[in-house]
Structure 1
Amino acid sequence: MTDNPVASRTPVTLLGTGAMGSALARAWLAAGHEVTVWNRTPARAQTLAAEGATVARTAAEAVTANRLVIACLLDDASVGEALEGTDLSSRDLVNLTTGTPAEARARAAWAEARGARYLDGGIMAVPPMIGVPQSGGYVFYSGSPDLFTEHRDTLAAPAGTRYVGADPGFAALHDVALLSAMSGMFAGITHAFALIRPEDIAPKDFAPLLVDWLTAMAPAAHQTADGLATGDYTRNVVSNLAMQVAGNATLLRTAEEQRVSPELLTPYMALMERRLGQGHGDEDGTGIVELLESAPGTPA
């Protein structure tokens, strides 16, 4: 007699069937897991019922159905509201709801006080990437190492997994740090297209040049990491801060000529000038991290 691998797969409860939650549910169903779903608006879960999921009438009923409970809701407050009054004892709660590191740490303590193991997650993917191994999507996880180890295979069905530590806040911190870097990149892309827009330059022709340039510049992150690790911001500097600040004048004059607002660039430029004014012209830009850490109003 042989074991049935489908029958041995961990059943999953999923709270939240929005775009991301539905994509997660379909990935687990496709991998052969039994899936129980709950959504505050029940009608939004019915499509998944037709695809093989069991729809619970209440969050409490959904939590009771399975030991492994996944939350993918609007925000941290929604998680608290959905789980208020439910019995979490002996449950494994994995929270894939987007939040802050502080919210994740507080939610972990809240869950553990109710007898649950807790794992927080930060999803580095959009719904169409879920359940598609070649998409490159993955999820940061942090919190209970035992929970992660036990359910690693189940958690890997929708997307890749990256465990980043026992501190429950680390998944959210990694998530937000990467999203913040993305926001800065989008700001630069937006400014670049604004500069060329008035001219006879096709955006579709310019786009591959922009992608290639940003790809070539991205490894500068490694030098920043090395500088922060050693405390030496002057090693292997190709374009020092003094040179960069001098070059900023050309960027600003060009924006003026093209009648483009420089407001996406000037906050960073102001920090560069302040660091230069402190006598660090021979460094790269790594020291700007220190200015951000010591910004007025920054919590200690």
Structure 2
Amino acid sequence: MNKEQHRTLSQGSTITVIGLGPMGQAITRTLLAAGHPVTVWNRTADRAEGVVADGATLAATPGEAVEASDLVLLSLTDYQAMYDILDSTAASLAGRTLVNLSSDTPDRTREAASWAAGRGAAFLSGGVMVPAPMVGTEAAHVYYSGPGQVMESHGAVLALLGAPKHLGEDPGLAQMMYQAQLTVFLTTLSALMHATAMLGTAGMKAREALPELLSSADSLGAILRAGEEHPGAALDAGEHPGDLSTITMMGATSDHIVETSTALGLDLALPLAVRAHYRRAIEDGHGSDNWTRIIDGIRAPR
């Protein structure tokens, strides 16, 4: 691919969006609002009605959608959907850039990058880190990975969706970050619901419990950064000083959470998983270390 094949798209250049779930629709409307003609395609054509009413052009086939633009954005269920839709358009992919914003594993993303390269297309993977209604707002950001030159060429357009954060050349990096972020997100949501259920057994309504619980969640970042040094630096150095909170102390707390949840008849999947991290560290002789020591067992499960 030469630079001309990956030229920067100026305002007014047509962009293709394939996949019109809530995210795909939000992406389409954001691009339309910025002055770009947008060609769209979706397996279920009636999902396109809203964005077509807003000014998008509905392609009759995936091939027609691909041929309409040099830049093709995909917002699909997974990467297999990309193959299912675009396999028939292989002859049209050469010289174009595919930006896949779908969720899947890092390994499947790397395979997809090779698949695209074999058809003469450039490839970026991306992870949109906000819900659909926030796309295009100042609060939005999107992780990307893949060739830096390709990212640079299309950075101005991609910035319309949210602040772009390019993680590096490895196409799997954006998916790795996306999955890591969602690990925190989904686990936190489960913890909030477990805690809300726990308080509900004592008669506290969710409308009363959630503000208190969310306040605790909001303060987590400040708590972790309370020391003079960023906690990541100690982790990178393999240091786990137990001067403020130890594995033994946190492990005892996890025991109490399991006991309370058992007595209340709640599901134990989450509290047992948390307790297992601390018990493993204690068994390995790290009871006096900081709670961060649990990362060892996570990195090397038995």
TM-score normalized by structure 1? 0.89
Q: Structure 2: which 5+ runs fail to align?
A: 1-8
Residue 104 of structure 1, CA deviation = 0.8
Identity fraction in percent: 32
Q: Secondary structure at the match of 2:128?
A: strand
1:170-209 superposed Cα distances (whole Å, 9 cap, x missing partner): 1111011010111221222122112211224333222222
Q: Which residue of 2 aligns with 1:72?
A: 75
**1:99-248, aligned counterparts within 5 Å?**
99-131=104-136, 133-134=137-138, 136-219=139-222, 224-234=231-241, 237-248=243-254
Residue 219 of structure 1, CA deviation = 4.3
Check conservation: 2:257, 2:271, Cα contact below 8 A. Answer: no
CA distance in 1 between partners of 2:20 and 2:291 (Å): 43
**1:89-108, aligned counterparts within 5 Å?**
89-108=94-113
Q: Structure 1: which 5+ runs fail to align?
A: 1-5
Is residue 2:64 matched to residue 1:58?
A: no
CA distance in 2 between partners of 1:220 and 1:168 (Å): 33
Q: Secondary structure at the match of 2:103?
A: coil
Check conservation: 1:10, 1:154, Cα contact below 8 A. Answer: no
CA distance in 2 between partners of 1:249 and 1:99 (Å): 35
Is residue 2:56 matched to residue 1:49?
A: no
CA distance in 2 between partners of 1:90 and 1:62 (Å): 15
CA distance in 2 between partners of 1:258 and 1:224 (Å): 35
TM-score normalized by structure 2? 0.89
Matching residue within 258, 268, 276 for 2:274: 268
Residue 221 of structure 1, CA deviation = 5.4
How many matched pairs?
288
Q: Which amino acid aligns with 1:145?
A: G
CA distance in 2 between partners of 1:42 and 1:201 (Å): 46
Q: Which residue of 2 aligns with 1:29?
A: 32
Residue 217 of structure 1, CA deviation = 2.3
Is residue 2:257 matched to residue 1:251?
A: yes
Q: Which residue of 2 aligns with 1:3?
A: none
Q: Name the CA shift for 1:175/1:115 in 2 (closer, same or farther; >3 Å).
A: same
Q: Name the CA shift for 1:271/1:8 in 2 (closer, same or farther; >3 Å).
A: closer
Runs of 4+ in 1 over 6 A off after TM superposition: none
1:80-129 superposed Cα distances (whole Å, 9 cap, x missing partner): 11111322111011111111111110100111111111100111111111
